[in-house]
């Protein structure tokens, strides 16, 4: 599928952990990608990272990378509040853009990207939905193999202990929902294949003003509901459970699958609480970031692969807007309500 394609040359804006530990190793493994340039505010840090990952160029400013004509696609690995600004600058420089999640702190912010060149690929970097397991799940649910999906539930948490982490800063898009809830909201939308109608949320905030724990209900209409809880102050957890009319589906290690062991969808079709009739669909171990950057690169080259553009990012941001408003008002908030 990729042997006849020229690899896409990537530039990375920001020497963040996500770039070092996930994106650059993924690009190195991707047959459709190559790391070309890295930019950081500290030129020495950019050069050291470029050397570690075999990138040809290192820049001491983000602007300098965007003037590099060899760079075709840019990964925005910056704190949340800078995503839209630098995505716009990258697009204005003629680059395709993959934006670290969340793409924006508010849905209205994405209007800054509304008039970019339509030939450019711009997407929010939810790597999880590029897993073959998630793609199989979507096909299975769309085919209604077990009847309609009616309820979705998810837990996603870890204990953040670094006091200097940008996620500790409210104005930088800190907190549990922007870091983790954007995933669970996206997952619920992915499962039902439609947009939610309204949201109800509760947040527990710390003294700095970020939410350490958020609980959400999304109403998708027609009897379909999603519930999820996210936290930056709890033990590590990650789960997705879906109840269909005729089966109970579980995705172990839903968001961070094993890179060394097979991953599964567990399907229990028992009609009796006292027993189980579970079977497992197995998927090979994988690096989901490699699948994500490969799919993005193939989309850039015009191939038909899973791709989720700005419309999807806007829809997820609209959910975030409703969640934060509901947490403030204590009431149901319609999605898209200002």
Tens-level pLDDT at each residue, the chain (338 residues):
566 789 999 999 999 899 999 999 999 999 999 999 999 999 999 999 999 999 999 999 999 999 999 999 999 999 999 999 999 999 999 999 999 999 999 999 999 999 999 999 999 999 999 999 999 999 999 999 999 999 999 999 999 887 777 777 888 989 999 999 999 999 999 999 999 999 999 999 998 889 999 999 999 999 999 999 999 999 999 999 999 999 999 999 999 999 999 999 999 999 989 888 999 999 999 999 999 999 999 999 999 999 999 999 999 999 999 999 999 999 999 998 65
> Can you give the pLDDT at residue 162?
73
Taking the C-alpha atoms of residue 92 and residue 22, their distance in angstroms, rounded to an integer, is 26
Domain 129-285+317-334 in CATH 3.30.360.10? The answer is yes
The domain ranges of the chain are 8-128+291-307, 129-285+317-334
User: Rounded CA gap, 79 and 39, in Å?
Assistant: 14
* Degrees, nearest 5: CA angle 249-251-255: 145
Put residue 260 in one of left, alpha, beta given phi > 0 → left and psi -120 to 50 → alpha: alpha
* pLDDT for residue 169: 84
Compute the C-alpha angle 332/156/294, nearest 5°: 110
- Residues 38, 45 contacting (CB under 8 angstroms): no
What's the pLDDT at 3? Answer: 64
CA–CA separation, 111 and 167 (whole Å): 24
Residues 6 or more apart from 93 whose CB is under 8 A from it? 66, 67
**Residue 239: how many CB atoms within 10 A of its CB?**
15
Question: Measured between alpha carbons, how far apart are the two ends of the chain, in Å?
Answer: 44
Own/partner long-range contacts of 204-213 (Cβ < 8 Å, ≥24 apart): 205/175, 208/168, 208/169, 208/170, 208/174, 209/170, 210/167, 210/168, 210/169, 210/170, 210/174, 210/175, 210/176, 211/175, 211/176, 211/177, 211/327, 212/175, 212/176, 213/176
**What are the start-end ranges of the H helices in 145-286?**
176, 182-192
Residue 18's CB is within 10 A of a number of other CB atoms, namely 18
pTM of the entire structure?
0.95
Q: How many CA atoms lie within 13 A of 325 on its CB side?
A: 17
Residues 72-110 as b/e (b if ≥16 CB within 10 A, e otherwise) read bbbbbbbbbbbbbebbbbbbebebbbbbbbbbbbebebb
List the structure tokens of 247.
Answer: 């089966």
CATH superfamily of 8-128+291-307: NAD(P)-binding Rossmann-like Domain (3.40.50.720)
Rounded distance between C-alpha atoms, residue 205 and residue 298, angstroms: 41
């Amino acid at each position: 599928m990729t042997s006849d394609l020229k690899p896409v040359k990537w530039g990375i804006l920001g020497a963040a952990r996500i770039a070092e530990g996930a994106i650059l190793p993924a690009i190195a493994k991707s047959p459709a990608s190559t790391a070309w340039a890295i930019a950081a505010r500290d030129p020495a840090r950019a050069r050291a990272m470029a050397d570690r990952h075999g990138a040809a160029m290192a820049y001491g400013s983000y602007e300098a990378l965007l003037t590099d004509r060899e760079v075709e696609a840019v990964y925005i690995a910056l704190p949340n509040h800078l995503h839209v600004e630098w995505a716009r600058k990258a697009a204005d420089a003629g680059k395709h853009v993959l934006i670290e999640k969340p793409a924006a702190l508010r849905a209205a912010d994405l209007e800054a990207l509304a008039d970019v060149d339509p030939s450019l690929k711009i997407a929010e970097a939810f790597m999880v939905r590029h897993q073959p397991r998630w793609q199989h799940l979507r096909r299975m649910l769309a085919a209604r193999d077990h009847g309609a999906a009616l309820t979705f539930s998810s837990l996603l948490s870890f204990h953040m202990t670094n006091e200097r982490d940008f996620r500790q800063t409210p104005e930088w898009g800190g907190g549990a929902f922007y870091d983790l809830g954007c995933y669970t909201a996206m997952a619920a939308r992915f499962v039902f294949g439609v947009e939610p109608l309204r949201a109800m949320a509760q947040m527990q905030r710390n003294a700095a003003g970020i939410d350490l724990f958020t609980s959400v209900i999304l109403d998708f209409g027609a009897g379909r509901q999603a519930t999820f809880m996210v936290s930056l102050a709890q033990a590590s957890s990650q789960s997705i459970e879906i109840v269909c009319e005729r089966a109970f589906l579980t995705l172990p290690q839903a968001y961070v699958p094993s890179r060394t062991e097979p991953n599964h969808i567990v399907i229990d079709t028992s009609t009796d609480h006292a027993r189980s009739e579970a079977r497992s669909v197995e998927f090979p171990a994988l690096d989901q970031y490699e699948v994500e950057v490969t799919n993005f690169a193939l989309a850039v080259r015009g191939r038909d692969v899973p791709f989720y553009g700005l419309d999807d990012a806007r829809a997820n941001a609209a959910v975030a807007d409703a969640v934060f408003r509901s947490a403030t008002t204590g009431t149901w908030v319609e999605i898209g309500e200002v």
